[in-house]
Structure 1
Amino acid sequence: MQRPLYQVADVLERNEELLAQYTSNTWQLRTLHALRKCRTAALGGHIDRCNNTQCKQLHLSYNSCRNRHCPKCQGHQREQWIQAREAELLNVPYFHIVFTLPDTLNRLCLYAPKAVYTILFKTAWGVVQDFGGNSKFLGATMGMVSILHTWGQNLSLHPHLHCIVPGGGVSANGKWKYAKNKGKYLFPVKAMSKVFRARFIANLRTELDEPQSYYDTLFAKDWVVYAKRPFASPNYVLEYLGRYTHKIAISNHRIQSLANGRVGFTGKDYRKGGAKTTLSLSDAEFIRRFALHILPKGFVRIRHYGILSSTKKKIVLPLLLAEMGAPPKKQESRPILHRRCPRCKVGTLVTVFMFDSRGPPKHWIKKLKQQHRTPKIKTA
């Protein structure tokens, strides 16, 4: 993939002195400053040497911020997470369910995001768990992986939960029980929507003190639970998760222009069938909207439930894999290449020196300059 022409960090850098005006708390401000400094001299860096004896090239790199909201820092973290999930993949159909909050809740999401998003996770799993436990629909213990997204294509606040659910569960005798309805859908979404709305509002009442008129407004709206078609095979689940688990509000590749104090970026207009469009926002509005999607400190946005939870999967999954077998691999796992030497494409980079924001010592700079005069080695 080509390097993006523009970056979120560019917008933050040219508004460094104004960032405090565009954020609502110090945590958001700290996060934006971390993104602004990512892979620059401000965070220090390290000098690596290729371990290939025919190369031994030195490379200077600046440290990344490793923030989960940073467009630059998600690539290899995503690959590591996906590869860890491969061993947990069951040879069963998987379903994709999306629980969406109405925009009436946006005000609460702004001043009490931790409480609202925690209720969203709790309620969504409660609905799936209870529908699965009901013998009318399945009658088994289920599992679920949930991923919180808070944005729409125009960076507006649009909280929703992507849930990946295996098509079945573990019955009382410890055996796998497949979902009904011939695999076409998991549970009826209209029934799930009504239960989701009622339970979310009930949980909200216990956490936040809002007037009755506000809850009446929430009940007056239809809430959306969207069930997509089941994945073509278990392997496609990992492809999907690769796109969604470490996704952030906007990638650098979507930014098309940074002229005249405005940010132009691409997006999809779902009112026009998902047609691609270009949006333009002032720097202030772009940063304000981006900051909306900075999650509270320590908040977990990827959660595992039921038989896929950390406490149960170590016991349950080996038994299920022995019973049903592992799904056939679509392709070999791609190697994680972030430590591969960019010069010879063979060796692995090994850190030989680390430095702070003052930069590397002069003798290291001299070594780096000298090697630029060395002819490039030929690769097979």
Structure 2
Amino acid sequence: MAPATYEVAQILERNREQLTRYCANSWQVRTLHALRKCRTAALGGHIDRCSDPACHKLHLSYNSCRNRHCPKCQGHKKEEWVRAREADLLGVPYFHVVFTLPAELNRLCLYEPKLVYSLLFGTAWGTIRDFGGNPKFLGAKMGMIAILHTWGQNLSLHPHLHCIVPGGGITQSGKWKPTKNKGKYLFPVKAMSRVFRARFVAGLRREQGKRQSPSFCQSLFRHNWVVYCKHPFLGPSQVVEYLGRYTHKIANGNHRIKGLEDGNVRFMVKDYRHGGKKTVLELSDAEFIRRFALHILPKGFTRIRHYGILSSYHKRTVIPELQKDLGRPKLAEKEPLLHRKCPACKKGNLVAIATFTARGPPNHWREQIKKQINRSI
């Protein structure tokens, strides 16, 4: 993909003195400053040389912030994670299930994000686990991968979980049992929605105690909650594509930004109320940063979680045995991720030969890079 014309970092840089005003806490401020400095001289860097003798060019690279909210740091992490999950795939149908919290809980998400999002994870898995354990629906132990997203297209608060659920589970005898219709049907969505709502509200009452009024908790039952379950993926390639699309996605990627004029930000959004039609939304810098900061997760909070037979504890033993019985899907071979290609010749690998701090590269390296540039002109 070609480099983005505009970046979130540009918005943060031109508002660097006002970031504290747009954030709810110091952790959000620290995160935004990290994103602002990403791949700039402020974080130091390294000198790389192409390994191809015919090229041998030097390249100056600045360090990345490695923050999970950064638009520039997710590509490599995403690919590493996806490849690790490919090794765990089974030759069975997979479902895409989405658990969404209603807008009435948005205010609580702002002040108690850790509590609300942890409760969302636990309630969603409890719903899938218990429906799977019920002999009426399946009667087997299931698995799930859950990925937290907190945003809508316009950067408003919209907490929901994207979940991948295999179409079946392990019985007490250790055998695989598919869901109904040979794994092509999961569970009744309306029943899951009611159970999900009742359990979440019960958990909120338990965690919040007297801090939440009975009338507020009761108001959460006025409307149906949304649990969405798509038809199973057509094949393992679709599962992998889904993983890559959602796992390390952030609130607003650089490629969505279309303009940064007059202290405003114009970015592309999909209007799902009108069939997903693409349109351009314009916000002031202050409002864009305020909305972006809403989606900075609490320090140390895990946004991708594995449950049941897909948890790290079980998959070391359970998954290999299931793959023997159910088979492993054949996926296209990919090049290893170990090396960075030289941007000049596209053949050699970049090898770091020196590092430097925020003060910049030593003078002798500066001179060598200048000579290389002059020769190429």
In 2: Cα distance, 1:362 partner to 1:60 partner: 13
Query: Paired residue for 1:332?
Result: 333
In 2: Cα distance, 1:323 partner to 1:5 partner: 49
Shift of 1:236: 1.2
TM-score by length of 1: 0.97
Query: Paired residue for 1:36?
Result: 36
In 1: Cα distance, 2:21 partner to 2:111 partner: 17
CA deviation digits over 1:178-201, x for unaligned, max 9? 111344420000000000000001
Contact 1:79 / 1:242 at 8 angstroms: preserved in 2?
Answer: yes
CA deviation digits over 1:324-379, x for unaligned, max 9? 111122x2124438611111212111111111111011110001111224459xxx
Query: Paired residue for 1:136?
Result: 136
| Count of matched residue positions in the alignment of Structure 1 and Structure 2 | 375
In 1: Cα distance, 2:183 partner to 2:132 partner: 14
- Write the mapping of 1:80-229 to structure 2, written as runs, cut at 5 A: 80-208=80-208, 209-229=211-231
- Write the mapping of 1:1-380 to structure 2, written as runs, cut at 5 A: 1-208=1-208, 209-329=211-331, 331-336=332-337, 339-374=340-375
Contact 2:92 / 2:183 at 8 angstroms: preserved in 1?
Answer: no
Farther off after superposition, 175-184 or 347-356: 175-184
What stretches of structure 1 of length at least 5 have no aligned partner?
Answer: none
Shift of 1:153: 0.3
In 1: Cα distance, 2:314 partner to 2:119 partner: 22
| Other structure's SS at 1:312 match | helix
Letter in 2 for 1:176: W
| Other structure's SS at 1:219 match | coil
TM-score by length of 2: 0.97
Contact 1:83 / 1:333 at 8 angstroms: preserved in 2?
Answer: no
Contact 1:340 / 1:348 at 8 angstroms: preserved in 2?
Answer: yes
In 2: Cα distance, 1:273 partner to 1:375 partner: 50
In 2: Cα distance, 1:294 partner to 1:339 partner: 29
In 2: Cα distance, 1:54 partner to 1:313 partner: 46
Contact 1:67 / 1:73 at 8 angstroms: preserved in 2?
Answer: yes
In 2: Cα distance, 1:327 partner to 1:135 partner: 28
In 2: Cα distance, 1:181 partner to 1:123 partner: 26
In 2: Cα distance, 1:355 partner to 1:277 partner: 43
| Other structure's SS at 2:306 match | strand
| Other structure's SS at 2:287 match | helix
Shift of 1:52: 1.8
In 2: Cα distance, 1:185 partner to 1:270 partner: 26
| Other structure's SS at 2:313 match | coil
In 2: Cα distance, 1:317 partner to 1:224 partner: 31
Contact 1:94 / 1:167 at 8 angstroms: preserved in 2?
Answer: yes
Shift of 1:234: 2.0
Contact 1:110 / 1:292 at 8 angstroms: preserved in 2?
Answer: yes
In 1: Cα distance, 2:336 partner to 2:358 partner: 32
Farther off after superposition, 316-325 or 289-298: 316-325
| Other structure's SS at 1:220 match | coil
In 2: Cα distance, 1:256 partner to 1:53 partner: 40
| Other structure's SS at 1:159 match | strand
Letter in 2 for 1:300: T
Identity within the alignment, %: 67
CA deviation digits over 1:135-159, x for unaligned, max 9? 1100100000000000000000000
| Other structure's SS at 1:173 match | coil
Residue 216 and residue 137 in structure 1: after superposition, are their counterparts in 2 closer, same or farther (change >3 A)? same
Contact 1:100 / 1:159 at 8 angstroms: preserved in 2?
Answer: yes
Contact 2:89 / 2:328 at 8 angstroms: preserved in 1?
Answer: yes
In 1: Cα distance, 2:15 partner to 2:358 partner: 21
Residue 183 and residue 315 in structure 1: after superposition, are their counterparts in 2 closer, same or farther (change >3 A)? closer
